[in-house]
Structure 1
Amino acid sequence: MTAAATEPGRTEATRDDRVAGRSLAARLLSRPEVGSLVGAVVIFLLFMAVAAPFRNVANIGTILYGASAIGIMAVPVALLMIGGEFDLSAGVAVTTSGLSASLIAWNFGLNVWMGVLLALAVSLAIGAFNGWLLLRTGLPSFLVTLGTFFILQGVNLGVTRLLTGNVATADISDMDGFAAAQKVFGSEVALGPVTLKVTVLYWVVLTVVAAYVLLRTRVGNWIFAVGGDAGAARAMGVPVRATKIGLFMAVGFCGWVSGMHLLFQFNTVQSGEGIGKEFIFIIAAVIGGCLLTGGYGSVVGASVGALIFGMTQLGINYAGWNPDWFKTFLGVMLLLATVVNVYVKRKADLR
């Protein structure tokens, strides 16, 4: 009788211990992007309070445009970081793509679309080369892509000056195919008082597609696996080589999208553009929840990190603050995000 009376209690205790569901707060705090979402809300409320132009609805388009310029590249950089690698050539690769399209079309008298397609091939080749060299040599991606960074920086300047006698490409706005290409890569749409650049659309679409791939497909599992432990992933049959090269090529593809916008927004490209932006992409990814050690992160968080960048960059100007402190803000955000991400990751592992 005593045993029978105590058995239900034991069963209940065992059931509670094994299958007790986590609270909503615990589930939210375990998400890598939660820190960036909180940060975005704080930044938004701050500038809403101190900067009158920030409250102007018409300026939403400007803020989103600044965020999309970073977000288009922050998304693939976040995927690459989740896969355990870096790409320090991402910033200058954007410029290389724009230069390639312009110089090829101009010097060979081709339709602009031929330059655009050949630039896509160049961008994908740069990404594939980074991935191939990384796997071939076993060197850290930091060193491999740092080398690519300097190579591309020199090629951008040297080839542009050789072919044009200047540090910028010629204006291609009067060439065949330019008007159609500009509609694809440099157009904008007015939604009431808000004017949105096409890059905002590309940014949103890339974020949705990347998030779906990462969280709902086998490829997403591969990315987390190779970032967590490439050796164990290979032993389990994960195509580590193809996954890493594919991630670098994804960065190349998005660099092409950004490069085409750069070209068709301004009709010309400066050969020195893009230097230093690779760090902005990485900061956005880290703010969004990506760990520098790989195997953990969120592309949605990276996009929110890009939004934080866009709001802060313009918010400082709207508030009339000294913009010299902007880089200091980015550094502080990077350190805080890194600490928060490590803390959240540890808490998530304990649960």
Structure 2
Amino acid sequence: MSDENATAAPDERIKVRSKFREALIRPELGGICGTILVFVFFLLTAADSGMFSSQGVMNWTIVSAQFAIIAVGACLLMIAGEFDLSVGSMIGFAGMLIAIMSITLQLPVWIAILVTFIVCVAIGALSGYIVVRTGLPSFIVTLAFLFILRGFTIFLPQLIERKTIIGGIRDAAEGDWLASVFGGKIFQGLFTWLGENGLISTFERGTKAGQPVVDGIPMLIVWALVLIVFGHILLTKTRFGNWIFAAGGDAQAASYVGVPVNRVKILMFMFTAFCATVFATCQVMEFGSAGADRGLLKEFEAIIAVVIGGALLTGGYGSIIGAALGALIFGVVQQGLFFAGVESSLFRVFLGLILLFAVILNTYIRRMITGER
């Protein structure tokens, strides 16, 4: 038999993984399994309570979108090998800046929003710069900013308005072109048509009789979808996405092959601050006010969503889709416990348990990837 017809023997140096093993190391696996389990559980326990009615679906979708907005930024930053514990304080700080500029200083709301984005993204850049220039752990640097921003969020309104909640933003934002980008709704005509044709539920009495219970898709959900799509494309389809993975996987080796590690990390801190400001702006437009206590614990909820989605705490591995599924799990469980008549405080118990399980699972996956024992 000639050499051309001979079957080449497999190279023993190449480690062949089974398809099952390859599926296990997909970052989205935990999020997919968790989502299926959560939906099955609440379909069995809360289906008759209205959780899956048009209003119920909108409720948990809005909550999931809130988690998703900040989870996208946290996911990219964690894949780059860093943490940002100031996200929650940034949400409160950004909302208060918008309120002070638009209500106290009487500036147009669109100017207040733009200035707030510039200030908050600059703070994110400063956090990233300190981390990469000093070599300090991002945990410590952003923990410091957590207290600094929260302190200013409480101090500024007390100094200027003698109170910690500033209202009247909804009236000030009436007709503002940029405010509607964060606080408006889309497809209202479509939902009115669906209600008129009996395809979705409508109000049966009162001043809103005949109007659809759900009258449009809030811009909060639109922003969440846009950021998820943007983050996924950036991470999986661009060279910059490869840089993010490289910066978090082995920063020194990445720098040797020309990856601008410091610039990548600073940009990810800036993007995390951008996502927090988007969340804050949508929240302010929804409630019509800003409070000093807004955003409490959101940084931890974002990190938990990312971990559930399969990202490793050590960096270099993760998925935007997984983080989005983690946010969906949060939203469904938080609202599902209410519909199921379960004590709402147990939601925190769930957060702790799911975090512990996700970290154990991700540690096992990391060992599979690296071959550690």
* TM-score, normalised by the number of residues in structure 1: 0.92
Equivalent residue, structure 1, for 2:137: 140
SS at match of 2:172: coil
What's the CA shift for 1:90? 0.4
| Pick aligned residue for 2:247 from 204, 223, 226 | 226
Deviation at 1:204, TM superposition (A): 1.2
Q: 1:103-252 maps to which residues of 2 (within 5 A)?
A: 103-175=100-172, 179-189=176-186, 190=188, 191=191, 192=194, 193=200, 194=214, 195-252=216-273
Q: Is the 8 Å Cα contact of residues 110 and 176 (structure 2) preserved in structure 1?
A: no
Contact 2:109 2:176 in 1 (8 A): no
How many equivalent residue pairs?
345
d(CA) in 2 for partners of 1:146, 1:270: 21
Shift in Å, 1:64: 0.7
Q: Does 1:36 align with 2:57?
A: no
Q: Describe the SS at the equivalent of 2:217.
A: strand
Cα displacement (A) at 1:96: 1.1
Paired residue secondary structure (1:321): coil
User: Which amino acid is 1:291 matched to?
Assistant: L
Is this contact kept in 2: 1:112–1:178, CA < 8 A?
Answer: no
The alpha carbon displacement at 1:270 in A equals 0.4
1:254 pairs with 2:275: yes
List per-residue Cα deviations over 1:2-44 (Å, max 9, x = no partner).
xx399966x2433899697953x44432211111111011000
**1:46 counterpart residue number:** 41
- 1:11-22 → structure 2 map (5 Å cutoff): 11-14=7-10
Deviation at 1:182, TM superposition (A): 3.6
- In the TM superposition, what is the alpha-carbon distance from 1:56 to its structure 2 partner? 2.3
Look up the equivalent residue of 1:277 and give its one-letter code.
K
**Percentage of pairs with the same residue:** 37
SS of match in other structure, 1:245: helix
Contact 2:69 2:275 in 1 (8 A): yes
Structure 1: tracts of 5 or more residues without a match: none
Partners of 2:166 and 2:175 lie apart in 1 by 15
Quick check: 1:78–1:298 contact (8 Å CA) kept in 2? yes
What displacement does 1:163 show?
1.0
2-side partners of 1:329 and 1:173: how far apart? Answer: 35
SS of residue matched to 1:13: coil
Separation of aligned partners in 2, 1:339 and 1:148: 29
Give me the whole-angstrom Cα distance separating, in 2, the residues matched to 1:12 and 1:111.
Answer: 72
Offset of 1:199 from its aligned partner?
1.2
Using a 3 Å threshold, how does the CA distance of structure 1 residues 46 and 217 change in structure 2: closer, same or farther? Answer: same
The residue aligned with 1:72 is 69
Q: Rate the CA distance shift 1:267–1:13 in 2: closer, same or farther, 3 A.
A: same
Q: CA deviation at 1:133?
A: 1.1
Shift of 1:324: 1.9
After TM superposition, give the deviation of residue 176 of structure 1 in Å. 6.2
SS of residue in 2 equivalent to 1:332: helix
Would the aligned equivalents of 1:157 and 1:167 in 2 still touch at CA under 8 Å?
Answer: yes
2-structure distance, mates of 1:245, 1:172:
32
What is the CA–CA distance in structure 2 between the aligned matches of 1:159 and 1:75, rounded to whole Å? 29
Deviation (angstroms), 1:110:
1.5
Distance in 1 (CA, whole Å) between partners of 2:55 and 2:319 is 30
Q: Note the C-alpha offset of 1:266.
A: 1.1
Partner secondary structure for residue 283 of structure 1: helix
Q: 1:342 offset after TM fit, Å?
A: 2.3
The answer to whether residue 288 in structure 2 is matched with residue 291 in structure 1 is no
| AA aligned opposite 2:32 | L
Q: Which runs of 5+ in 2 are unaligned?
A: 195-199, 201-213
1:115-134 residue CA offsets vs partner (Å, 9 max, x unmatched): 01100111111110110111
| TM-score normalised by structure 2 residue count | 0.87
In structure 2, distance between residues paired with 1:83 and 1:261: 27
The answer to whether the 8 Å contact 2:110/2:179 transfers is no
One-letter amino acid matched to 1:104: M
Is the 2:31–2:322 Cα contact (8 Å) retained in structure 1? yes
User: Hey, what's the Cα distance between the residues in 2 that align with 1:59 and 1:95?
Assistant: 27
CA contact (8 A) 2:231 2:320 kept: yes
Q: CA separation in 2, counterparts of 1:59 and 1:170?
A: 28
The equivalent of 1:314 in structure 2 is: 335
Question: What's the counterpart of residue 61 of structure 1?
Answer: 58
Q: CA deviation at 1:267?
A: 1.2
Q: Which amino acid aligns with 1:157?
A: I
Question: Going by fraction, where is helix more abundant, 1 or 2?
Answer: 1
